[in-house]
């Protein structure tokens, strides 16, 4: 859909950024550049850092999935339509969160 070419480009740029971030996180967690320290206390600190990095990596993977789903919605002609109520997602919401799949009303409801 021609009307969403700029959104598609933005989503692909977001994917590239996430892929780069995930690559760095993976390298850090696997200690590719810096092996685990010999000192037990330092290892404990590194393990805590790995847990934070793991959380950030999981968040990035979730966001990546949401972006690929948004690209699929563009291809199907369903972009900008709330997946719950079928109403149009506001332009302002899509501008702020281009991979949004729900309108603000549905996204704000408890349990969603």
Structure tokens at 79: 């972009």
Distance of alpha carbon 8 from alpha carbon 18, whole angstroms: 15
Query: In the chain, where are the structural domains located?
Result: 2-79, 80-112
Tens of pLDDT along the chain (112 residues) come to 578 899 999 999 999 999 999 998 888 777 666 666 677 677 677 778 878 888 899 999 999 999 999 999 999 999 999 999 999 999 999 999 999 999 999 999 876 5
pLDDT reported for residue 111? 60
Give which of 5, 25, 23, 16 is closest to 67, Cα–Cα.
16
Minimal CA–CA distance to 73: which of 1, 16, 14, 10? 1
Q: By CB neighbour count within 10 A (0-12 exposed, 13-18 middle, 19+ buried), where does 33 fall? A: exposed
């Amino acid at each position: 859909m021609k009307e969403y070419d700029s959104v598609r480009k933005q989503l692909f740029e977001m994917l590239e950024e996430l892929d780069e971030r995930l690559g760095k996180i993976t390298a850090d967690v696997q200690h590719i550049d810096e092996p685990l320290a010999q000192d037990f206390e330092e290892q404990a600190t590194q393990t805590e850092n790995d847990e934070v990095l793991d959380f950030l990596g999981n968040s990035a993977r979730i966001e990546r999935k949401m972006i690929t789903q948004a690209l699929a919605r563009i291809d199907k002609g369903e972009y900008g339509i709330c997946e719950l109520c079928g109403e149009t997602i506001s332009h302002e919401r899509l501008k702020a969160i281009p991979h949004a799949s729900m309108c603000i009303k549905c996204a704000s409801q408890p349990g969603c």
